Copies of this chain bind each other. A is one copy, B any other.
Amino acid sequence: MLARLEAQPRALRRGTIVRRQHDRAGDLFIVQQGWLHSFTLLGDGSRQIVRLHIPGDLIGTSGTVQAGAGESIACLTDVSLCTFDRAVLRGIFVDHPRLAALVYQLAQADLAALTERLASLGRTSARARIAALLLETIDRLRMVTPDLGTRFAFPLTQEEIGDATGLTAVHVNRMIRALAEDGLIARSNATVTLLDERRLARIAQRAPRTGAFDTGWLPDPA
């Protein structure tokens, strides 16, 4: 069933807008390669990046509630994307209850991530927000690549980092630079190395991570 969803990938260039806020949005996507971000535009034109998407993510699910998408989705890098209609979701809910419950768990995981980001934007300093963004990102990458070290590609401009953390690009620059001077991170090209995750976590005011998905309550495999 899952394999069927990942048929016919589509190739998209960096900068491509996959979906625009308020578009009719019946499609879902699975990211096969590359990074994307979903974002909202406010009345004054400012942008808030809500979520980063990496390979393996199921995205575009907001179209399952209301016909109009609540957020835009765009490519941060060149991307390979698999598309399917939300009618396929119906089939999953009808014929594959365990898989449906897993999809539900994905939504709950997204909620948990947004919860954490909300606390970061609402209650922590610029320095803390950037540390939190880096830690969240490496954590997510490690779910896909468990043997990932402390170094990873991070294809965001400082302006995009600002839009993700609620800061200006100028201040992002100062804070990143300060983190580097303090020996907490190192940068080269679009790659970041976390030199002291323990201390970064403290700076980010991070609550201790909880473990893996709990599949105990799920329906039995069909």
Contacts and interface: CB of A to CB of B under 8 A. Distances in A.
A207 B42 contact: yes
Contacts of A62: 108, 111-112, 115
Contacts of A117: 118
Interface string A107-145: 111111011111101111000000000000000000000
A67 B214 contact: yes
A68 B217 contact: no
Contacts of A44: 205
Given A70-B207, A90-B219, 9 more contacts: A22-B210, A42-B207, A43-B202, A43-B207, A65-B108, A89-B101, A94-B97, A94-B219, A114-B115
5 A-B pairs with least C-beta separation: A122-B166, A48-B119, A43-B205, A68-B210, A42-B205
26 contacts: A21-B207, A40-B116, A42-B124, A47-B123, A48-B119, A50-B115, A50-B118, A62-B108, A62-B112, A64-B217, A65-B105, A65-B108, A65-B213, A66-B211, A67-B211, A70-B112, A89-B217, A90-B219, A93-B93, A93-B101, A93-B218, A107-B108, A107-B111, A111-B111, A118-B121, A121-B166
